A and B are shown apart, each in its own frame.
Chain A
């Protein structure tokens, strides 16, 4: 009977469990969970603040999930070392777990720059976990003035979640635009305007330099008074275990298309990994939920002796604020890089499609996101745009743009 140890208890871990069990119903699975919560999906925490979900419904799987999957979960434990020679994992309480296969699914942690005077701030939070969220919820009230450092996905989702609970929200970011990792300048402006209309204040191209109690002193010299500080500057992949093991690590743990690290029998999945982004043609950390699950599942299948490949990773995000949705995927190559862009604007909508070498490499949709997956699949499948009616597809996402034969194959069989 194989012994599996999964370090981490997020969505990649859940994928890994389901992957293992799709092949091996016998082996012993032990999950090492730092958080005292059954698996949940971290992006839900902003929806929790908005009241769109609650702690019960946030559970990623049903309450009998671990039982059904025949898994042991060690809550509140941390793995501190993987001894691959001795085939065991050492925990922070000194116990060891025997293992044949290990999956590192440790995710990422908030990156907190060394702000001067940060220690003088009374109410400061990260926004990653349920515990962060519950603490933040306790700290705010209708009179709170919140300063969020970081106008990325986490910072802005936090802003959306808090908006109806507090008096004011200011978001600052050193970048000159919001969501700089996924939106280009014009698209970012559209989203920013919408967020501003919904009461979020921005200070862009400017960020906190130091803190003096409840005042942030900005790089520009401006001073922002706040009650509650949320630090959402960025995240870093948790790679220490892999590093210590001697596995290759860059910004994330390097994995191949089987989710195997460079150390034998050690796999990794989720936000802690760095794998190939097929739209970019390079390795990068893709801290995205769909990838986490699919990587986890792939790792699980391979750990259990099955054969699975995950080689279709691309960056993609679906994100909405106050009713305005944006979807992005892939890469946006500029003209200098040989890319081309098609743009379509409409009533409150914006669409940008990025192509290069006869392939769709990326897109940004704001407002109308209907059937965006058709575009996503073109990127993932690297569909040659000459084989479809891309002119039609530019205007409207429809299966009609595919040739009759390929459409009948796609829709007419078992998929």
Chain B
């Protein structure tokens, strides 16, 4: 299955992926309209130190702790991707407590949000990958370790 991977050697820590993500999931056609003057809720987060940067988003684990821990049955796997049914999420944050990557976060509405590989929005392909100026984020198939 194709996943989003970040090559930290090339990650600049520019945070564009966060904005592209927030925009892609905003449902708006214009980034300014979508993001100007408000806090953003990206599903990918840039982390790092002065020396190294990388971005973290859902790993779409083969055996996802978040899905197993969701008290509402709002998280599930579809064709390998971990998906969320926002209407079922009650915001208990158990998934935040169990995700070893810190890949889930509270969204604008209080419900949980996470990377769904832009399969659910109009972007069609992961916006973080498409917008990365240095080719640091890729969307590709990798072999199981």
Range of interface residues on B (Cβ < 8 Å): 35 or more
> Taking the complex as formed, is A223 at the interface, i.e. its CB lies under 8 A from any CB of chain B?
no
A19 to chain B, nearest CB (A): 11
> Taking the complex as formed, is A107 at the interface, i.e. its CB lies under 8 A from any CB of chain B?
no
Task: Assess the A404–B56 pair: CB atoms within 8 A.
Answer: no
Task: Assess the B93–A318 pair: CB atoms within 8 A.
Answer: yes
Interface of B is mostly: loop
> Taking the complex as formed, is A114 at the interface, i.e. its CB lies under 8 A from any CB of chain B?
no
Instruction: Scan residues 90-145 of chain B and give those whose CB is less than 8 A from a CB of chain A.
Output: 90-102, 104-105, 142-145
A404 to chain B, nearest CB (A): 7
Residue of B nearest to A412 (CB): B5
Instruction: Scan residues 50-78 of chain B and give those whose CB is less than 8 A from a CB of chain A.
Output: 52, 54, 56, 59, 61-62, 65, 68-69, 71-73
Partner of B101, one of A290, A294, A392, A410: A410
- With contacts A372-B97, A411-B56 taken as known, whether A47 is within 8 angstroms of B5 at the C-beta atoms is no
CA distance A33 to B3 in the complex (A): 39
Count of A interface residues, CB-CB < 8 Å: 51
> Taking the complex as formed, is A360 at the interface, i.e. its CB lies under 8 A from any CB of chain B?
no
* Interface hub of A59, A329, A399 (most chain B Cβ within 10 A): A399
CA distance A320 to B87 in the complex (A): 19
Task: Assess the B8–A408 pair: CB atoms within 8 A.
Answer: yes
Task: Assess the B90–A373 pair: CB atoms within 8 A.
Answer: no
> Taking the complex as formed, is A53 at the interface, i.e. its CB lies under 8 A from any CB of chain B?
yes
- With contacts A373-B97, A413-B144 taken as known, whether A398 is within 8 angstroms of B102 at the C-beta atoms is yes
A362 to chain B, nearest CB (A): 13
Residue of B nearest to A374 (CB): B102
- With contacts A53-B88, A415-B61 taken as known, whether A374 is within 8 angstroms of B101 at the C-beta atoms is yes
Task: Assess the B94–A57 pair: CB atoms within 8 A.
Answer: no
Instruction: Scan residues 43-81 of chain A and give those whose CB is less than 8 A from a CB of chain B.
Output: 43-44, 47, 52-53, 57-61
B103 to chain A, nearest CB (A): 8
> Taking the complex as formed, is B6 at the interface, i.e. its CB lies under 8 A from any CB of chain A?
yes
Contacts of B96 in A (CB 8 A): 318, 327, 369-373
CA distance A370 to B105 in the complex (A): 7
B60 to chain A, nearest CB (A): 8
Task: Assess the B145–A373 pair: CB atoms within 8 A.
Answer: no
Residue of B nearest to A413 (CB): B145
Contacts of B99 in A (CB 8 A): 371, 373
CA distance A265 to B56 in the complex (A): 43
Task: Assess the A325–B93 pair: CB atoms within 8 A.
Answer: yes
Q: A369-382: contact bitstring with B at CB < 8 Å (1 yes, 0 no)?
A: 11111101100110
Partner of A41, one of B8, B48, B72, B98: B72
CA distance A410 to B6 in the complex (A): 12
Contacts of A329 in B (CB 8 A): 97
> Taking the complex as formed, is A397 at the interface, i.e. its CB lies under 8 A from any CB of chain B?
yes
CA distance A272 to B45 in the complex (A): 39
Give the interface of A toward B (CB within 8 A): 11, 15, 41, 43-44, 47, 52-53, 57-61, 289-290, 293-294, 297, 316-320, 325, 327, 329, 369-374, 376-377, 380-381, 392, 397-400, 404, 407-415
A-B contact pairs, 26 of them (CB 8 A): A43-B71, A44-B71, A44-B90, A47-B72, A47-B90, A52-B90, A59-B73, A61-B73, A289-B71, A290-B98, A318-B93, A318-B94, A318-B96, A320-B91, A320-B93, A370-B96, A372-B96, A372-B102, A373-B99, A381-B100, A392-B49, A411-B5, A412-B5, A412-B142, A413-B144, A414-B144
Give the interface of B toward A (CB within 8 A): 3, 5-6, 8, 47-49, 52, 54, 56, 59, 61-62, 65, 68-69, 71-73, 87-88, 90-102, 104-105, 142-145
